[in-house]
Chains A and B, each alone.
Chain A
């Protein structure tokens, strides 16, 4: 029963990112949207934490939010950039979606 975790808060000003990583299961997925995309900023602790996640954890990034923040050519190789249809598909690939509201 793997979970897709949906984050939208910046990891630099908010605890959700850290708590989410603590709860993340090996088969879970992590979808960065909104300000959570700032976690991909190179040379930062959140970016390092994402790079260190087990290979079994899928890292997804919502395309609009990535592009808006000027990070479109700076995402890590393991990240998969998805559009809204891809977002819908991702929800169905996991048993449930945990949005960190």
Chain B
């Protein structure tokens, strides 16, 4: 059985290439049909803000790529409730349908995967 990987994306979307490189890692795993989950934590939840205009910074649309995750077989998407709340993001306004988890849920998520990469 394939080993599962949890990718924790905790960088804001426009602070450099790191958010995109976390996403690329998830997409590459999905393309190989591997069991991949993606968790948005800390500033990473800002990737889920609606109405972003990356063109203003001459950047590609990260949000559009995030929305393509299910097409690449990455359907296990999570966000940290504490990170959302402390950053003023309401759960019903997010760019993607994600499962929002409290600390116990986050611990279970981590336990349930064979490996984890926190970027």
Contacts and interface: CB of A to CB of B under 8 A. Distances in A.
Direct contact of A and B (CB under 8 A): yes
Interface of A: 1-3, 15-16, 19, 22-25, 95-101
Given A19-B10, A22-B82, A101 B119 contact: yes
Interface residues of B, number: 20
21 contacts: A1-B111, A3-B110, A3-B111, A15-B42, A16-B10, A16-B42, A19-B10, A19-B41, A22-B82, A22-B103, A22-B106, A23-B106, A25-B110, A96-B114, A96-B115, A97-B116, A98-B110, A98-B116, A98-B118, A99-B118, A101-B119
Most A-side CB within 10 Å, residue of B103, B114, B118, B119: B118
Given A3-B111, A99-B117, 13 more contacts: A15-B42, A19-B83, A22-B103, A23-B103, A23-B107, A23-B110, A25-B107, A25-B110, A95-B114, A96-B114, A97-B116, A98-B110, A99-B118
Contacts, number: 41
A2 B113 CA distance: 10
Contacts of A23: 103, 106-107, 110
Interface of B: 8, 10, 41-43, 82-83, 103, 106-107, 110-119
A36 to B, nearest CB: 14
A97 B114 CA distance: 10
Most B-side CB within 10 Å, residue of A1, A23, A95, A97: A23
